Structure formats: C-alpha cells, structure tokens
Amino acid sequence: MPITNSTEITLKDLKKYSNTDLVTVIGQQVLAGNYTNLFLLTTTLVSISSASPNVKDTSLSQSIRALSRQCQKQLDWNCSHALFLEGVFCYLGIERPKDDKQAIYYHEKAITQGNSFSMIERAAMHQWGEGGDINISEAMRLYDKAISLGNVVAMNSQAQIYLSNKDFPKAIKLYEDAILLGYTPAMIERAMMHQYGYEEGGEISFSKAIELYEQAIQLGDSNAMRKRALMYYEGQGGDVNYSEAIRLFEEAIELGDADAMNDRAWMYCQGHGGDINYSEAMKLYKQASQLKHIDATGNCAHMHECGLGTNLNLSKAIKWYERAYRYNNGKDNNINNNLKEKIESILSDEGQLAEDLLNTLWKELIAGESFTQETLSYLSKYCSKTLLERLKTSPEGTSLFFLKQLKLNSLHPVTSILSSHDAKLNHFVGRAIYNISTFFGVPVDTDFKELMRHARNISDSRIAFFQKAIAADEPSVSLNDLSPELKTHIFSFLQPGLVSDLRQGCFFTATPKEPTEENVTSNLKIS
C-alpha cells in the first residue's frame, strides 16, 4: 500500500505500511530537513542491517539504493541532511560494508554545517567507543552543542549519562527541559525515576510516575502505554487492574509494540484477566517475533517444546530457539547461554530428531542463516549424507552460483555441516584415525568434497550440452539448430538452478547468446 509524502507518519503506520514505503517517504523527509519520523527510519534500517544477506527483502533493497542515489546527488551540493544519512548508512552497513571511519567522515562534515543529529550520532560513537576510543568528554561537548540548537534527543541522551553517573540534578534538569518540548522518551525516563526511586534519597512516587506516563500516552507513545499497563498489572499506585492493563497493552499492540505483545501473551498463558488461552498467546508471540523480539521468540520455542497452543514439536522448538539466538546476536551472554542450554537439552536424543530437524530448518539453512554450533554439529553427525543427497536434487544443488557461494563462505551452515570432521569423529578411535591420516598427508574425504565433485559435474554437463554440441561437426547434431533461448529452456528442466544462475549473470550475458567454453565457465569454476 503506497503512502503519500505527508509530514507526519505515526507509529500506527508500522502496521499499515511496508518497510519499503517507510524508507522511501521518511528518507525523503530527512533529506528535506524533516527529522520528525527519524526513529521509524533508523528502526527499519537497524532491522535491515541485522538480516542475513541471503534473506533480505529485494524491494526494500531497491528502495534503499534509490534513497542512496538521491543522497549522492545531494552530496554534490554538500547537503548536511544527505551527509547525515550517508553517515547512518556507513555506520549500519546498509548496501555496503559497515565502516565506522566513513560514518565519522560524513557526520563530521555535517557537523561543520550545524546538523544537530550528526552531532548526536558522533557523540554516541564517542560515548561507546565506536570508530575509536571511548571519549566521554568529547561526547558531552557534542551533546551540549546539539542541545544549544534545541535538539531534544541530545537532551535525553546527555541526561542518561548524568543518570548513570548518579548526577541526578543535572539529569532531571535535562529530562524536564525535554518534557517541556513534548519529548515522550524524556517523560518515560523521568517517570521511571519516580517509579523506582532513581534519584537523591531514593523516593518512590507512583502518582508522579503515572502522571508522566499518562502525558506520554496522550501523545501516542506505545512504550508509555505498556509501562502504565504494567503498573496496573502489578498494582503499583492502586489496586491490581487486569482489565485496564489489557486495554493499554492492546492499544500499544495496535501501534506495533513488541514488548506489549509479549506481555499480553503472558497474561493469556497465566489466565490473568480471563481464561488461559495458549492459542492466542502463540499468535502474539509470533507477531512479536516478526519484530525480532528475543523473549517472544524464545517463548514461541517453549510453546512448541511443551505443546502449548500447538502440537508438541521439538524440531520447531529448535527452529524458534535458533531464531531467538540469532536475534540476540551475541549482545547478551546470559541469553546466549540459556538458549544454547535449551537447544543442547533437546538435541541429546542420539539423532532421533535429525531428519525431521533437517526438514524443518531446510529453508533457513539454504538461505545461509546463522545457527548455533550445537545444531550444526548435530546435523553434521546424524544427517550430513541426507543433506548432501537432498541438496544434489534440489534447484540450489544445480545452481553453480549457489554452489560457488558455499565454497567461498566457510561460515555458511550448509558448508559447516558437510565439512565437519569433529562432529562425526567424536570418539577416540575416529579422532586417532583422522589425526594419523592428516599427519601422513592422506586426504580425508568429506561430504563437502563430494558436493564440489557434484558441482564440477554440473559445470561439465553444461559445457557438453552447450559448447561441445556447437563444436560438433556431425550434421546429425540437431541441437545446433535450436536457439540459445530454447536450449536454455530445455536444459533448465535438467538443471533448475540454471534459472537462478541466469539471474545472477553467471552463465550467459543479460541477453542469451551462443556460449563459448570461456563464457560458459567464467566465474563458475569450482576447483
């Protein structure tokens, strides 16, 4: 559903519109100097930057490339807004490798033109030691500069530094300045100080917290709705009130708040405010998981593991635990360790789950998503041969482009499974044989080497069908009378991967023409 280039896009648009539309419209707003909806843009870009390269949304990538081209045009005019966006793209690695130094270059150029949002980005990099050493004094200087330009985001960011250093008066002053300017994150931060006693003397005031949450709710802030709902749920500032908690959770859910989805699902699981309803809980957990909510994704896994709201399915439980691990992306070691323990516990079955697990994870394995070593080792140990044979007969297994990517990327899960010795040779005798063989230079075969032999056969059969048929002198070779397009169509039934190779430009040029050995095999050599 396309959207117009309106000045305001509320959080409700997260539900109504695609990320592609949001990137296009908000990106254009920023280039015009309107940063009102910057949070929505950066949230979307962060989501893109954390996605696997093999599973990114093509239309979204096209939208970002178009925005980047527009940035480049405005860079020629030394536009500070274009410099800011380029800095963000470099920092997140959008349509290019992540490059902190280039991000710094663009932000510092924008700063010379008085762009307060680049001041904030550069200050944050100093604050967290990105692109250089941690430099709090320089971060504070830049926040001060942005604050002098009236930037409420800078007020909030600097207040958080003061709060972490327990300089409560300065933090409160900045929060309250931002509150006067209608900045809802500052209202929430100040409300939390009242709610939990984060100030001199540790005084708790639920009434003051509620007042600020309600103020932010009136301005449509879903985070404030959720936090006020939790106060109703826990009976802070009044009696426990599940109906009001549910009302606010559901308003926040309408605005796309993943935390609220997770909390409301928990209420369904516990039967708080109504009957226990695991199926509704599962719907909400899955909805939050689509927004990469780690806890909700782990809860989805638990529901599959225990058969709550769905059939008991341990393979699907692994799939969801792996997604949660992926979403965490190493940010929290405790979460990582907890998820790995759950995965290990399920996979202690001596291979009974192996083939079903392979079927369940197939699309994500082929797409190159990351997996824990526990899952990869299990699949390597118990169904490497099955994976190999299935891959040979799949469309991907007849794509030279895909097979070459497996060879070039040792971290691809399929490569890891087919190449692993440790998982298969996990007993003393097996390891001894492997060590002796490698010591004396005796090659140890792997399923991955077998796949590469298969790739060579794929390449050879293409040469035989196209190039050698053309070179044949016998008049009986009727293939030479066929057009390249028709020959390609015929051969694609034998090798479905030929179609994707054509899209990647790995077999013919953009317009199919009579192949030679050189252009048939260029960039496709496997060994």
Residue by residue, DSSP assigns 324-348 as HHHHHTTS-HHHHHHHHHHHHHHT-
Task: State the Cα–Cα distance between residues 491 and 494, nearest whole angstrom.
Answer: 5
Q: Where are the alpha helices (DSSP H) in 409-503?
A: 413-419, 428-439, 447-463, 469-471, 484-494, 497-503
Q: Which amino acid is at 77?
A: W
Query: Do residues 304 and 317 lie in contact, with contact meaning Cβ atoms separated by under 8 Å?
Result: yes
Residue appearing with tokens 């095999």: 521
Query: Phi then psi for 63, rounded to 5 degrees?
Result: -65, -40
Task: State the Cα–Cα distance between residues 220 and 199, nearest whole angstrom.
Answer: 27
Q: Residue 276's pLDDT is what?
A: 98
Q: Residue 442's pLDDT is what?
A: 42
Q: Residue 513's pLDDT is what?
A: 41
Residues for the chain: how many in total? Answer: 527
Task: State the Cα–Cα distance between residues 158 and 183, nearest whole angstrom.
Answer: 14
* Closest of 289, 287, 279, 274 to residue 309, by C-alpha: 279
Query: Do residues 412 and 419 lie in contact, with contact meaning Cβ atoms separated by under 8 Å?
Result: no
Sorted by where each starts, the structural domains of the chain and their CATH numbers stand as: 1-149 (1.25.40.10), 164-256 (1.25.40.10), 384-521 (no CATH)
Q: Is 111 exposed, middle or buried (0-12, 13-18, 19+ CB in 10 A)?
A: buried
Is 8 strand, coil or helix? coil
Task: State the Cα–Cα distance between residues 319 and 325, nearest whole angstrom.
Answer: 10
Q: Which amino acid is at 32?
A: A
* Closest of 72, 131, 64, 74 to residue 100, by C-alpha: 131
Q: Residue 460's pLDDT is what?
A: 85
Query: Do residues 293 and 258 lie in contact, with contact meaning Cβ atoms separated by under 8 Å?
Result: yes
Q: Residue 274's pLDDT is what?
A: 98
Residue appearing with tokens 């708080």: 272
Q: Which amino acid is at 463?
A: I
Q: What is the pLDDT along the chain (527 residues), one digit of tens a residue?
A: 444 444 455 555 555 677 888 889 999 999 999 998 898 888 888 877 766 554 455 788 888 889 999 999 999 899 999 999 999 999 999 888 899 999 999 999 999 999 999 999 999 999 999 999 999 999 999 999 999 999 999 999 999 999 999 999 999 999 999 999 999 999 999 999 999 998 877 899 999 999 999 999 999 999 999 999 999 999 999 999 999 999 999 999 999 899 999 999 999 999 999 999 999 999 999 999 999 999 999 999 999 999 999 999 999 999 999 999 999 988 899 999 999 999 999 999 989 999 999 999 999 999 999 999 999 999 999 999 999 999 999 999 999 999 999 999 999 999 999 997 544 444 444 445 445 444 444 444 589 999 999 999 988 888 777 765 555 555 545 666 677 777 777 877 878 888 778 777 666 432 334 444 444 444 444 44
Q: Is 100 exposed, middle or buried (0-12, 13-18, 19+ CB in 10 A)?
A: middle
Task: State the Cα–Cα distance between residues 402 and 214, nearest whole angstrom.
Answer: 54
Take residue 499 and report the two structure tokens written for it.
Answer: 């179609």
Residue appearing with tokens 């490798």: 97
